[in-house]
Structure 1
Amino acid sequence: MSHWSRIEVEAIVRTYFDMLNKELHGERVNKKEANRQLNRILTGRTLASIEFKHANMSAVLLDLGFPYVDGYKPRSNYQELLREVVEAHLALDKSLLVTVKNLVEQPALVAATDVDLELAFVPAPQRQPSTFHRTGRGERVNRPRLGVNYLEREANNASLGKAGEEFVLEVEHARLWKAGHRSLAERIEHVSQTQGDGLGYDVLSFEISGKERPIEVKTTRFGPLTPFYASNNEVNVSRLLDNYQLYRVFNYGKGPKVFVLPGLLDQSCTLEPTHYRALVG
């Protein structure tokens, strides 16, 4: 199959951003119909190749610090032309930037407290390859970002973080209560509030055996493959504490769900350096 032309890539990008805008505004997105319409325009491109290109779009947006269309699992080996067209679109689409900025900065409403455990917990996504790419000489370099990293800005939204922690408190209470361990359920502690945020985890819960379950909570309004940010302390604590768990809360505000990454963060995730401590003198 030949490389995608600029005209084809621009059609893909326009359709994807139309879906993303609708999703960010809480509107229903008919991905199959959008793909069928593209298939009529892009003669010679199969529905499968169009869906694959949308998955490439998701990877580009995550590299640039933007949310992606939920359901299009990011695929990182994308055409550089695709990234170029996406960046050009973002530079012109000021309304999209405002929409994303408002979403990642707005205060979070606390989720309803009636937790259905059958719906709350989902399997963790399969581990994804790093979004690093290789230059012609083979060395690994991080892809530059365009402007603001909105996903990092969302990660710094204290209101959203606290709301996610309170959701996990309810989830853990429901889990232990359902298992018949009500005394353990009543002992769950929101340690980031009672003891400060320097422990490396946010919630102290329990196994049904009574063993402690320290939980770090990371929350996003977007899809399950949205990257999260972990501090050096959190990574180190995951190595030191027995039974450490990271709860990734996603789709917050649209029906939050959570998956669990147990144990060492550098084993359950691909960790990429994003900050340096610089000492002068």
Structure 2
Amino acid sequence: MAGAWTDEQNDAIVADYFAMLADDVAGRPYNKAERNRAVQASTGRTRGSIEYKNRNISAVLKGLGEEWIAGYRPAFNFQSSLEVAVARWLDRNPEWLARTTRAAAISLGSGYGEPPPLWIGPPPTHSNAPPPEELEQMVVIARKYDVGARDARNRALGRAGEERVLAHERSTLLAAGRTDLARQIRWVSDVDGDGAGYDIRSFEPDGRERLIEVKTTNGWERTPFHITRNELAIAEAYRDDWLLVRLWNFARDPRAFELRPPLEAHVSLMATSYQASFL
């Protein structure tokens, strides 16, 4: 069968992809060839077209700041109807975006002991890592579905990310022999609530403060994130102490990088909302 995929065909392959992705994330074995044959039977499409369509779905998910199946490398030449089909599946399955099972398993309260060391690398700026050719396509998808706002609304994800950074800060100070400072770390957003302009008050081994704002996503390192006017103001007021820790790929293999003020040197800031007052 040739020609554009119908909505029914897109829905069928997207549902199958997410079934494989659920197994992939959980570490359960699955047979790609067997699943391909099942999709062939339900859609009438060829094996090769189904393989490439799965790569297209990976590309859409990357743009949405979500996980994808590593065995299906993102391919960005896809029809807009596929993007709509993926969004439609996510709307029908809200529990997918709300899941935090893997995140909870590495949190301090999980009973699994201390989490492994947090990988912290360079930020994905132009000087450190030139953007991929498909970045513009991913930015369009991210803006259309406002993935930054989605992550910001996911309180469980945000809390798990803060807890992960809290553990990292504590272990770093303990390894440096600064037990005294490790005991003084304060989870500000948990104890005092939001509004301070940072989530964690920690320390450098020499005693200098680290005022840490944590932003967490399950997506890749360039997934957009939201930052408040207050957080920007605090970053400017405490330039020497404030930093943003960006956690990404959180559900599978948490990685991070740090951004220090001025943030405009690292990211493009775009106003996404306005306060409306009556005249």
Q: Find out whether 1:41 has 2:37 as its counterpart.
A: no
Return closer, same or farther for 1:74/1:190 CA change in 2, 3 Å cut-off.
Answer: farther
Counterpart AA for 1:163: A
Do the aligned residues in 2 keep the contact of 1:22 with 1:29 (CA within 8 Å)?
Answer: no
TM-score by length of 2: 0.67
SS of residue paired to 1:126: coil
The Cα shift of 1:37 comes to 4.9
Inter-partner Cα distance in structure 1 for 2:29 and 2:80 = 24
The Cα shift of 1:242 comes to 1.4
Who is 1:53 aligned against? 56
Q: Find out whether 1:69 has 2:68 as its counterpart.
A: yes
Inter-partner Cα distance in structure 2 for 1:187 and 1:10 = 57
Who is 2:267 aligned against? 269
Inter-partner Cα distance in structure 1 for 2:28 and 2:219 = 14
Equivalent residue for 2:180, pick from 173, 176, 183: 183
The Cα shift of 1:278 comes to 1.9
Do the aligned residues in 1 keep the contact of 2:64 with 2:142 (CA within 8 Å)?
Answer: no
Who is 1:215 aligned against? 212
The Cα shift of 1:274 comes to 2.4
Who is 1:163 aligned against? 160
Do the aligned residues in 2 keep the contact of 1:219 with 1:248 (CA within 8 Å)?
Answer: yes
The Cα shift of 1:243 comes to 3.9
SS of residue paired to 1:229: coil
Q: Percent identity?
A: 26
Inter-partner Cα distance in structure 1 for 2:69 and 2:235 = 29
Who is 2:41 aligned against? none
SS of residue paired to 1:86: helix
Counterpart AA for 1:263: R
Q: Find out whether 1:174 has 2:171 as its counterpart.
A: yes
SS of residue paired to 2:93: helix
CA RMSD of aligned residues (A): 4.3
Inter-partner Cα distance in structure 2 for 1:60 and 1:41 = 26
Return closer, same or farther for 1:246/1:13 CA change in 2, 3 Å cut-off.
Answer: farther
The Cα shift of 1:94 comes to 7.7
Deviations 1:218-275 (A, max 9, x none): 234x2344433211222333333214222233455x5662402221333333434322
TM-score by length of 1: 0.66
Counterpart AA for 2:121: P
Return closer, same or farther for 1:142/1:197 CA change in 2, 3 Å cut-off.
Answer: closer
Count of matched residue positions in the alignment of Structure 1 and Structure 2: 251
Deviations 1:43-84 (A, max 9, x none): 5x7x8x76763443224545xxxx342647877x654xx222
Do the aligned residues in 2 keep the contact of 1:206 with 1:213 (CA within 8 Å)?
Answer: yes
Q: Please give the residue correspondences for 1:1-281 in structure 2 after superposition, counting only pairs within 5 Å.
A: 5-7=3-5, 14-15=12-13, 17-24=15-22, 26-28=25-27, 33=32, 37=36, 41=46, 53-62=56-65, 67-69=66-68, 71=70, 78-79=77-78, 82-88=79-85, 90-91=87-88, 93=89, 96-100=92-96, 102-103=98-99, 110-111=107-108, 112=110, 113-117=113-117, 120-123=118-121, 126-127=124-125, 128=131, 129=135, 131-132=138-139, 144-145=144-145, 152-220=149-217, 222-225=218-221, 226-240=223-237, 241-250=239-248, 252=250, 254=251, 257-264=254-261, 265-281=263-279
Return closer, same or farther for 1:97/1:239 CA change in 2, 3 Å cut-off.
Answer: same
SS of residue paired to 1:87: helix
The Cα shift of 1:31 comes to 9.8
Deviations 1:7-64 (A, max 9, x none): 3998787545533344347544779946x959x9365x7x8x76763443224545xx
Return closer, same or farther for 1:193/1:90 CA change in 2, 3 Å cut-off.
Answer: closer
Return closer, same or farther for 1:270/1:41 CA change in 2, 3 Å cut-off.
Answer: farther
The Cα shift of 1:178 comes to 0.8
Return closer, same or farther for 1:164/1:16 CA change in 2, 3 Å cut-off.
Answer: same
Counterpart AA for 1:189: R
Q: Which moved more, 1:21-30 or 1:172-181?
A: 21-30
Unaligned runs of 5+ in 1: 134-140
